[in-house]
Amino acid sequence: MNENKIDIFDPTVEMNTNKEILAERKSDLNTKKCGLLWNSKIGGDKLMHFILSELNRKGIKPSEIVELKKEYDTRPAKKEIYEEMAKKCDFVITAVGD
């Protein structure tokens, strides 16, 4: 018997081909307040506004837009930002730039 054996792990997995069921939407986003949380990276704000314009193009027009910005892209937002989001927004879109 060889005691100097090396375990080899195969990282491949079988692809999941099951159809996913989308979550049921409980309400109309047109009556909701949308938060846009920008992480401060260059272009992130443009990406969020593009996503918002795409929603508008598809007939989704939130009742209000709240724009929020993190101080640094590499750190979590300050507690106050999360509190403001919870207080003012029904849903939030966030994006990264570059």
Whole-model pTM: value is 0.66
Give yes or no for residue 46 having a pLDDT over 90.
no
In 39-83 the beta strands, taken as DSSP E runs, fall at: 64-69
- Given a contact cutoff of 8 angstroms between Cβ atoms, the answer to whether 52 and 34 are in contact is yes
Residue partners of 65: CB distance under 8 A and separation at least 6: 33, 34, 35, 36, 52
Give yes or no for residue 1 having a pLDDT over 60.
no
CA end-to-end span of the chain: 55
Reported as a single tens digit per residue, the pLDDT across 54-71 is: 989 989 899 999 999 888
**Cα distances (angstroms) measured from residue 29 to each of 25, 61, 67, 86, 90:** 9, 7, 17, 16, 9
